[in-house]
Structure 1
């Protein structure tokens, strides 16, 4: 059996190194995707995820979605 003290130390170590832990997990997941579905499909997934994160971050900061889209997309024709 695994000692509770060892598990506690492991959790504390992971908590103290959150960036490294998250980076390692993300890198591992991307590597699995590249090996299973290919580079370009993985790249597409990463780009879509990044774009979704960026839009979600803007939404969380209460920036109007229409104003945000007007910044990045060409203006539409007004009727």
Structure 2
């Protein structure tokens, strides 16, 4: 896939688990025994909302947000509000 927004992580998490502040988090494996690019429902596979856009002037742009990544989503700790421009 080219031009994808990956998340929560870019790359692999070995064994589909991580330890943060002494707590073990078991993630969903989607690359053999590993978690790749945020799991099977990474940020490239969800619907983002358009926050704002402009096609005027010298810098046309669009800003997307995604907030459905709640605490515990696919095993990851903490909620995430992601923005892509």
Q: What is the TM-score normalised by the length of structure 1?
A: 0.22
Greater C-alpha Rg:
1
Instruction: Indicate the structure with greater strand content.
Output: 2
Instruction: Indicate the structure with greater helix content.
Output: 1
